Amino acid sequence: MNVLVLNAGSSSQKSCLYNIDTDLPDRPSSPLWEAKVDWPHHQGAAELTVKTASGTVQEALETNSREVVLSRMLTTLWEGKTQVLAQPSDVAVVGHRVVHGGQDYYESIVITPQVKETIARLATFAPLHNPANLEGIVAVERILGTSIPQVAVFDTAFHSQLPLPAAVYPIPYSWFSKGIRRYGFHGISYQYCSQRSAQLLERPLDTLRLIICHLGNGCSLAAIRNGRSIDTTMGFTPLEGLMMGTRSGSIDPGILLYLLREENFSGDELGQMLNRESGLKGVSGVSNDMRQITAAVAANNAQAQLAFDAYIHRLRSAIGGMVATLGGLDALVFTAGVGENSPAVRSAACETLAFLGLELDAAKNQQSPVDQDIATANSAVRVLVVKTEEDWTIAQECWRLVRS
């Protein structure tokens, strides 16, 4: 079964095609075709990169229209050097990562006109992402036709059973019923990583207490007990919680009141500062990219050192909070760009957890581990590095829904 997955961001669009072996749907496979579109900062142009077994093709597109770009991107599935399908109708189902499912969607769903309306309504909660997700859905309908089923897989769904004390904000309760509550994000990644961790540990998921650290450009933690998310650091939006690449994470709301009252900030200016100019980038003045931060630290850049230390300080204190929520810990799991690739972040995060009996194997931590346990044999807590497979998880959800 050919499953096309679309993962739309505010300034990029990723897509891949899996051929799922219907006898072995649980086994992650490599995509047959992978495409990425970047919209660089100047207007009116996009860069398309398509990768298949026969090589990589790059193309500059002189347009800003998501539909035109998607149309070109999808055409490379059945035309030219990157062709992997005979015709468009060889796509059996299309899965979309949709960031916000609000209180409406607690699991993946086949897209109908009503689902599209709801995703559009929820755009007020996720203004950078839900509109891009919807544009992708509409564009696929126009390009592939309406007879191919499309599925929405929500980033919030995995946290839908968050206990109420973790979900409520301590503001007047009437706001809760209006949707001002903690939702949590990165759920597709948590779903995959929790299942993969149980496989690696050779234990049933419903016996485990896990803390998963999804550390990429966006960063969050989830505390998972018996396979369910019982706490997470992101909340109403993906801005809450840990310090991230360009996002601040949690800050004193009094700062926002001060900037609104005393410095005449508008809502949009606050949004720009907190989403795009803060985090590692804002504190270091160097970059949002952990590779450049660690390089600047090695070159004795004091501000980069401060940014790294603040990132680790917040990560450690959030892990500590999750340990208390779980009442103990079986495994600490690192995933996403930083979690999978930065030995420095992993070792700094683990350093102060020795009191739990957690002991990192320094050599294993350095050896680019993928889907491995990097704790010592004697460690009382396992430490895993798991390569997250969000697109694969979306493809599996499509397979599950189409089959049923």
| Residue among 65 and 368 whose Cβ is closer to ligand AMP | 368
| Residue among 2 and 7 whose Cβ is closer to ligand AMP | 7
**From candidates 336, 383, 394, 401, binder to ligand AMP by CB under 6 A:** 336
β-pairing, 382-385 vs 331-335, is parallel
* 252 is an active site residue: no
The torsion angles phi and psi of 43, rounded to 5 degrees, stand at -75, 155
216 lies in the site for ligand AMP, by CB under 6 A: yes
Q: How far apart are CA 91 and CA 85, in angstroms?
A: 8
How far apart are CB 294 and ligand AMP at their closest, in Å? 7
Candidates 337, 339, 378; CA nearest to 359 is 378
Is residue 80 within 8 Å of 57, Cβ to Cβ?
A: yes
Is residue 43 within 8 Å of 61, Cβ to Cβ?
A: no
How far apart are CB 157 and ligand AMP at their closest, in Å? 20
Q: How far apart are CA 343 and CA 398, in angstroms?
A: 34
Contact characters 242-281, ligand AMP, x per CB under 6 A: ---x------------------------------------
**From candidates 59, 90, 289, 371, binder to ligand AMP by CB under 6 A:** 289
Q: Which amino acid is at 386?
A: V
Name the β-bridge partners of 96: 6, 152
| Residue among 101 and 245 whose Cβ is closer to ligand AMP | 245
Q: How far apart are CA 75 and CA 50, in angstroms?
A: 11
Q: Which amino acid is at 58?
A: Q
Candidates 392, 399, 400, 398; CA nearest to 189 is 392
How far apart are CB 90 and ligand AMP at their closest, in Å? 29
Taking CB under 6 A as the binding criterion, the range among 28-36, 128-136, 138-146, 333-341 that sits at the site for ligand AMP is: 333-341
291 lies in the site for ligand AMP, by CB under 6 A: yes
Taking CB under 6 A as the binding criterion, the range among 3-11, 222-230, 316-324, 337-345 that sits at the site for ligand AMP is: 337-345
Cβ-based neighbours of 158, under 8 Å, separated by 6 or more: 184, 187, 188, 190, 191, 222, 229
Place of tokens 């996720």: 126
Residue 370 CB neighbours (<10 A): 10
Taking CB under 6 A as the binding criterion, the range among 94-102, 198-206, 286-294, 324-332 that sits at the site for ligand AMP is: 286-294
101 lies in the site for ligand AMP, by CB under 6 A: no
157 lies in the site for ligand AMP, by CB under 6 A: no
**From candidates 290, 332, 353, 360, binder to ligand AMP by CB under 6 A:** 290
342 lies in the site for ligand AMP, by CB under 6 A: yes
Out of 155, 361, 373, 391, the active site residue is 155
- 109, HSE (Cβ side, Cα atoms, 13 Å): 17
**From candidates 341, 365, 379, 393, binder to ligand AMP by CB under 6 A:** 341
338 lies in the site for ligand AMP, by CB under 6 A: yes
| Residue among 297 and 323 whose Cβ is closer to ligand AMP | 297
How far apart are CB 75 and ligand AMP at their closest, in Å? 26
Q: How far apart are CA 42 and CA 300, in angstroms?
A: 33
How far apart are CB 338 and ligand AMP at their closest, in Å? 5
Task: Provide the token pair at 329.
Answer: 């810990």
Helical axes 113-121 vs 130-144, angle rounded to 10°: 150
Catalytic residues: 155
Applying CB under 6 A, the residues found at the interface with ligand AMP are 216-217, 245, 289-291, 336-338, 341-342
